[in-house]
Amino acid sequence: MQGPAIFLAQFMGETAPFNSLESICRWAASLGYVGVQIPTWDSRLIDLENAATSKGYCDDLRGRVEACGVKISELSTHLQGQLVAVHPAYDLMFDSFAPEHLRGNPKARTEWATQTLKNAAKASQNLGLNAHATFSGALIWHTVYPWPQRPQGLVEAGFKELAARWKPILDVFDTCGVDVCYEIHPGEDLHDGATFERFLAATGNHPRCNILYDPSHFVLQQLDYLQYIDLYHERIKMFHVKDAEFNPTGRSGVYGGFQDWVDRPGRFRSTGDGQVDFKSIFSKLAQYGYKGWAVLEWECCIKDSEQGAREGAPFIASHIIKVTERAFDDFAGGAVDENLLRRIIGI
């Protein structure tokens, strides 16, 4: 496992050191991070179109980042990926994710998002990256609770259309040798194991259809996030280290009562402050040979972001397991003796 790395999206701002590529990378390195995950919608960090077409630009970008003491772990298109599939009920709220000239034009917005994802595949290839973070978008999330009763075939139709939109994108990523890692997240049609399985099947089990594992979203859904690794470890190619807690009351539970984050039973916390069993998570990922990055994603309704970042690097570093290359009882073994083996089994 590689790390610690940090997702820069929640830290970019208008003041130093959070307002330029070099300054925020030097800041991350000073805290002990060795990787940065770059949100591609922030032009201060990357020109995605240029990165998709110019290897020279990418070589320069990578050099600028590494001169600051960190590497690029992955690129992210969470906001653009969301726009690949938007139900009309959410058009107004998601329009802000698109360039201003596309707002109010859902068809053009989707076409732009699709091309942006394809650009991200080529940019990742040019940067020498092998995994990419994104959202799936959602066409049937508004029907997540079956009331009114869902018409027969609705779910199948929704995933068929979602897969049809993503299949050309996945094919470009495949050509570029990069895995698409969908963050399994409420609000997306891919929000748990069952929905990921539906989508994977609808894509024809596409080899580039993979998972960004973030246990915080499973705490809020009351899903077994450890067994999730057992079930889907072959598809987990990215890992967000983010904490959460779930404290239901007599007033509200999983759905949260439309309350602000600080008042919700399920809320995100700074790493180490919530209920996620990270020791077991890191152990399971090590057991299954996870070779990707451990990336801090800071989202907390209580703790300051800079404090969360300072605490995050040593927290991740202390949890990363160097996988042993030998069995602990090797000292008691011996060389292979075929005759001895046959005698032990009685032949």
For the residues of 6-29, what is the DSSP string, one character each? EE-TTT--SSTTSSSHHHHHHHHH
What is the rounded CA–CA span in Å between residue 101 and residue 26?
34
User: 264 pLDDT exceeds 80?
Assistant: yes
pLDDT digits (tens, 9 = 90+) for 319-341: 999 988 877 777 777 788 999 99
Q: What is the pLDDT of residue 328?
A: 77
Q: Indicate the helix (H) or strand (E) that contains 56.
A: helix 55-67
Angle of helix 225-232 relative to helix 193-202, nearest 10 degrees, comes to 20
Q: What is the pLDDT of residue 331?
A: 72
Asked, as a colleague might, if the bond just before 4 is cis with ω within 30 of 0, I would say yes
Q: Given the DSSP bridges, would you call strands 266-269 and 243-246 parallel, antiparallel or unpaired?
A: antiparallel
pLDDT digits (tens, 9 = 90+) for 287-308: 999 999 999 999 999 999 999 9
Strand partners, 5: 35, 295
Q: Are 264 and 244 in contact (CB under 8 A)?
A: no
Mean pLDDT value across the chain: 97
Number of domains in the chain: 1
First to last CA, the chain: 44
Angle of helix 305-319 relative to helix 278-287, nearest 10 degrees, comes to 50
Q: What is the pLDDT of residue 256?
A: 97
Q: Are 76 and 7 in contact (CB under 8 A)?
A: yes
Q: Are 323 and 290 in contact (CB under 8 A)?
A: no
Smallest Cα–Cα separation from 231: which of 213, 217, 205?
Answer: 213
CATH code, domain with 158: 3.20.20.150
301 is written with which tokens?
């309704």
Smallest Cα–Cα separation from 33: which of 241, 246, 186?
Answer: 241
Tell me the HSE value of 11 on the side-chain side, using a 13 A CA sphere.
26
Q: Indicate the helix (H) or strand (E) that contains 212.
A: strand 209-213
What is the rounded CA–CA span in Å between residue 52 and residue 172?
12
Using CA atoms, how far residue 238 sits from 42, 73, 296, 316, in Å, is 21, 10, 11, 14
Q: Are 291 and 1 in contact (CB under 8 A)?
A: yes
- 279: domain range? 2-344
Query: For the chain, what percent of residues have pLDDT higher than 90?
Result: 96
| pTM of structure | 0.95
Tell me the HSE value of 104 on the side-chain side, using a 13 A CA sphere.
2
Q: Which residue has the tokens 């995050």?
A: 312
284 is written with which tokens?
């399971």
Q: What is the pLDDT of residue 324?
A: 84
Strand partners, 211: 182, 236
pLDDT digits (tens, 9 = 90+) for 53-81: 999 999 999 999 999 999 999 999 999 99
Q: What's the rounded mean pLDDT across residues 238-246?
A: 98
pLDDT digits (tens, 9 = 90+) for 6-58: 999 999 999 999 999 999 999 999 999 999 999 999 999 999 999 999 999 99
Q: What is the CA radius of gyration of the chain?
A: 22
pLDDT digits (tens, 9 = 90+) for 131-183: 999 999 999 999 999 999 999 999 999 999 999 999 999 999 999 999 999 99
